[in-house]
Structure 1
Amino acid sequence: MGNSIKLENVYIASTGTVCGPLEYQGPLGSSFDKGFGDYHCGEDSFEKAERKMLRDSLDICLKREKLKQKDIDLYIGGDLLNQITTVNYLARELPKPFVGIYGACSSFCLSMAMSSLLIEGGFVDKVIAMVSSHNATAERQYRYPVEYGVQKKDTTTFTATGAISTLLTNQPTQVRVESITLGKVVDYSQDDPNDMGRAMAPAAYDTITTHFEDLKRSFQDYDLVVTGDLSTYGHKILKEMMQRHKIDVVHYNDCGCMLYDLQNQEVFQGGSGCACSGLVTMGHLYPMLKDKKYKRVLVVATGALLSPMMSAQKDTIPCVAHAISLEVVE
């Protein structure tokens, strides 16, 4: 089946979504379980604030199913920081095995895909996939600290502040992970860390077309197809690539365009980061699937695998996209 795998026994049991101030004030704000009014979240550093959000999302996820940390077989997670700092430091508190993953902003779908494969294979029964990102921590690492007030380019995206924990299980629920497509690393020779949409659009194109080819599907087979964080610029480029290859694009949107009010919030081209696709998917789309407003949704999280060191050396930016298909259980 190529790079795509159909699944039979992976279900979403619970989720917890926590966001920062702009996300909470945005058009989907009421969909999230908890929102903070500032970027410190009551902590003395932005990095600790990101960890607090992730811890809160995990607590909410477990509480919904009346579970404790020890009841989970495995935790899988990632974030944007060096040595996946947020999830690794939170994992010190967990009594069960933890696997850290890194797919940049594609980490939400990557963590969901890896968790799903282990459940489908019968190796574990309950896995929590968790990711986070924070505007101030990501900007400090990949570009400039926000305190510098550096002027942004028109093509810049805005790293979403938030955390998402999702409990996956082999016990039937209302929504299942129906299939996954693992992406190839794609590099179209883009080298500007302030132009992520242009860099990631080809990876999204590759994964979406691979998913359709492997499973003999098209956009028409989904109530909605969303990319993770191409935002308005990359969203436009992806549609142009599809049209150039005579692929009919319908029911398509981008999480980076959905998470914010692009006309009234200062987020440049729109959202990015691990939390961008995670918040939109689990905070907004998952409830719509549970309410049967959608029957099948394809989520394609995109990630720019750039290294600040390699950017300084003017190297190009490799990108990747991973896809998960969520479906209502009839």
Structure 2
Amino acid sequence: MRFGMFIPQGWRLDLVGIDPADQWKTMSDLARRLDRNDAWESLWVYDHFHTTPDPLPEATHEAWTLMSAFAAITDRVRLGQMCTCMSYREPTYLAKVAATVDVISGGRVEMGIGGGWYEHEWRAYGYGFPSAGDRLGRLREGVEIFRQMWTTGSATLDGKHYQVDGALCHPQPLQTTSAENRIPMWIAGGGEKVTLKIAAKYADYTNFDGSLDGFKNKSSVLEGHCKDIGRDFSAITRSANYNVMIGENDAQVQDRLAFYEDLMIKGGLPKERAAEMRANMATQPAVGTPEQIVAMFEQLQDAGMTYAVTYFAEAAYDTSGIELFEREVIPALAAK
């Protein structure tokens, strides 16, 4: 199994209490830490502008600015976003941005892409909030533009949502030498009628429901779409995201959950809402002791989930949970 980790960037109230002048150091120190440890294949950020679950006046650092900065300060670890919202940037522009970051990084970009969902954010930034059909239509046309720009150096498309005519992409991404060798495309989301159909055609990686039953169901739907278009289902790596609350024993796990609840309150959530979030977090698959988390991942691995992207809510303040995960979870699964 392969592993990635989200760097706290504020979106999930995970930089609360850290002076804005010190937040980049917090993020960059964690990025360098991952870069030094080859147990981690990738680092990730979210593409959002406002905090969740509510928009609050706390930092949310912009994803592609961070991508460029991480590209410059790391040497090995791969760099992804889970996931970039197609409609927040024109796909021609986004393809150029990703190509530039790929060059800066020496060929380490992973393109996570999706249709977008955070309505308050869309409207606040003046994007409106198109129907789900239009958002997914933009996703479909946008990934086609990516494919053309990264493999041929230009794109032309007369689509419903995007019209481009000879948009150039030079320099080419360093990863691009052919249609089979380019910036990897992660299609995020589990919509069965549209998103997974787009994934069947374009994705190198998918990212959807990480529960065992949910993962099996989405995988089955994806496999059906692959059969319909004659694509090899096994060519797509299936991944999922996991909120990790790990402890040597249940008492330590409860301490982490309590810290998480307190962090939400400090970020500005009402106590009742923070308690709800703690209760929800406690039900997540990757909450428990190392032995429990390894057993959970083994079941998912048997179902075909081979790439886990992890999130540690306390990472900006305390790396002991990350260290425990590195010491006892990753080695137990890395060779399987």
Alignment TM-score, normalising by the size of structure 1: 0.28
RCO higher in structure (CA 8 A, sep ≥6): 1
Task: Point out the structure with max Rg over C-alpha.
Answer: 2
